[in-house]
Structure 1
Amino acid sequence: MSDQGRDRVDVTFMYAVHDAFQRDLDRLTAMAEAGDASGPAVEAGWDRFKRFLHIHHTAEDTHLWPVLRAKAADPAVLDRMQTEHDRLDELLDIVGAAVSAGSAARLADGAARLAEELGAHCEHEEELALPLVQDLLTKAEWDAFGNEQRRRLGVSGAAAFFPWLLDGAEEATRRKVLGVVPPPVRLLYRAVWRPRYLRAPRWQAPASAH
């Protein structure tokens, strides 16, 4: 489909979300390898990560892949995306069980496996699926995918999502993401959401990264 006559979709958020997922799993793996497998930070971080990944993948399954299928996108690519989602669900269960058990060894192994699989999935999505998105989807269809994620997040979820998304992000990414959200969201992020997020238990970057 030609770009002429329609707005090309902006996939800024997709890349930012992928980076945030990988950052979180790198932190979790490092924490577990250092023997930290229980406590408020581990549990709160896991609940947050699991919720945001579930919302993201569910919105893809309901508002992205079916729309691309209806536009005759390569079915092999879309089948691969859904198969990888199923595999990631299995690994999420493994990591969740390790968090519940408080086992550092099991958590380090499970988090490393999940990080590898999710990293590969994000690469496949960026290399194979996002070009289809930009070639075939209208801006309205892409916005519907984003709106579904916002609906599932709700206001309280957004208050946790944006500071989580931008935790440790490069300044260029932060500016770009905040540049495409409404001004009230930027104000809330800076004045309320980010300070509250920084005070709450969360996964921390390894000490060697500081």
Structure 2
Amino acid sequence: MTEALSMNQIIHAAVRRDVDRTERALRQLADGDLARARQVRGAWRNLVRELTHHHEAEDSIAWPFLASRGFDTTLLTAMEEEHVAMKQALTASSAAIDAVVASPTTVAAAAAADAVARAREVINAHLAHEEADVEGVMGALEDDPAWKAEARKMRPASIVDAANALAWMQDGAGERERSSLRATIPGPVVTLLTLLLARRYRRDVAPVWR
């Protein structure tokens, strides 16, 4: 039986998936298709929002906790520096996608796709580094009451934000990610949250990838 993924790994899978989908959509954008350009920008902004929340929570909560437990601060500093590099890459990609909306040409779309491809290199390198060197440590703390309390602080601020995050993680996910998510959060809860509360994602983002 395949080992279940952690919530951290499920989030990472969603990030990788949407970076790939965004680049592909930009490369396929028809000249003058402003409506599609706006759709892609909306989906990209959703990805940036989810990824930013995830990494700001790690910087402000996860890394300080690990440092307090004597974890290698050199590695934690590297994680923070990689987050800064990712933020810069996301900002550059966002500006390039905004330029496509301003002028939806195939030339602008190709330039934006190239920016997203460069961002993917930075993002994937960090995600792989974190999974290789930090994931195991966080997994070992799974039953630690103090860590559980800190992990709860890393969740979205509202139930609506949580629902939209769940919808995002599931949209286009493979069976391993879906089954791992069901194992982490009871199926009926996931269904209720995504069907009743994930309105923003269903309205603004999900149609982009249909």
Alignment TM-score > 0.5, same fold: yes
Distance 1:92 1:190 in 2: 27
1:95 aligns with 2:93: yes
Q: Look up the SS of the partner of 2:71 in the other structure.
A: coil
Check whether the contact 2:160–2:197 (CA below 8 A) recurs between aligned residues.
no
Unaligned runs of 5+ in 2: 101-107
* CA deviation vs aligned residue, 1:12-67 (integer Å, no higher than 9, x gap): 11110000000000001111112368533212202211110111001100111111
**Larger mean Cα displacement after TM superposition, 10-19 or 140-149:** 140-149
Distance 1:195 1:100 in 2: 24
Identity across matched positions, percent = 30
* CA deviation vs aligned residue, 1:91-121 (integer Å, no higher than 9, x gap): 1110110121113122111110111111111
Q: Look up the SS of the partner of 1:64 in the other structure.
A: helix
Q: Look up the SS of the partner of 2:173 in the other structure.
A: coil
Distance 1:137 1:201 in 2: 32
Q: Look up the SS of the partner of 2:155 in the other structure.
A: helix
1:28 aligns with 2:22: yes
Once the two structures are TM-superposed, the CA of residue 198 in structure 1 deviates from its matched residue by: 4.8
Once the two structures are TM-superposed, the CA of residue 145 in structure 1 deviates from its matched residue by: 4.2
Q: 1:70 aligns with which of 68, 84, 87?
A: 68
* Structure 1 pair 138–31 and aligned structure 2 pair: CA distance change class (3 A): same
* CA deviation vs aligned residue, 1:147-171 (integer Å, no higher than 9, x gap): 223243x122122111110112222
Aligned twin of 1:139: 144
**Larger mean Cα displacement after TM superposition, 67-76 or 87-96:** 67-76
* Structure 1 pair 137–187 and aligned structure 2 pair: CA distance change class (3 A): closer
Q: 1:166 aligns with which of 166, 170, 181?
A: 170
**Larger mean Cα displacement after TM superposition, 38-47 or 69-78:** 38-47
Aligned twin of 1:116: 121
Check whether the contact 2:5–2:180 (CA below 8 A) recurs between aligned residues.
no
Q: Look up the SS of the partner of 1:72 in the other structure.
A: coil
Aligned twin of 1:5: none
Once the two structures are TM-superposed, the CA of residue 127 in structure 1 deviates from its matched residue by: 0.5
Cα RMSD after superposing both structures: 2.6
| TM-score normalised according to structure 1 size | 0.81
Unaligned runs of 5+ in 1: 1-9, 206-210
Aligned residues: 195
* Structure 1 pair 167–193 and aligned structure 2 pair: CA distance change class (3 A): farther
User: Which amino acid counterpart does residue 34 of structure 1 have in structure 2?
Assistant: Q
1:58 aligns with 2:62: no
